[in-house]
Amino acid sequence: MAPQYVKPYVKPNKNDLRDAEAIAEAVTRPSMRFVSIKHVAQQDLQALHRVRERLMGARTALVNEMRGLLAEYGIVLPPGVNTFRTALTEKLEVEQAKLTPLSQELFSKLCEEFKKVETEVVYYDEKLQAMAITPPESQRLLTIPGIGPITATALIAAVGDMEGFTNGRQFAAW
């Protein structure tokens, strides 16, 4: 059961016994909706998505940090990961005179770190794309315009069994 459906049955002065009573009370209600249990494959898929999302956040933070540090040296790079990726090495070579030997070493280390994070993100992207090809549910989702392998696998990982929803409107509200 989702916690928000049990909350109305919890008595004041919360403790484990009162929580158990609230769950027992909520289960007896005919209108109670239950959360479907995730399969191990769904948990694996969701774990991949979480790791990829963490890496993408780390990549964005690294790009912003590098842009800020370079701006302090008078080297301005455009925002966005894709434009940063293409402009970084060219800009560092052209503006090398503005950097001290220590800052050159620092930025080369940061560039290595950026490339490492990039390769990890690419690895997880390829893994998710490979996993999107096999399941029939994923193949059906991929036929919908605007849904790619990442979104399809994320939906399968989060929802899993669509039988928990009686219609499309319930799914959209979820």
| Band of pLDDT at residue 51, cut at 50, 70 and 90 | very high
Write the single-letter amino acid at 106: L
The predicted pLDDT at position 35 comes to: 67
Place of tokens 């992207």: 125
Supply the mean pLDDT for the chain.
88
The model carries a pTM of 0.76
The predicted pLDDT at position 64 comes to: 94
Write the single-letter amino acid at 76: V
pLDDT score of 1 more than 80: no
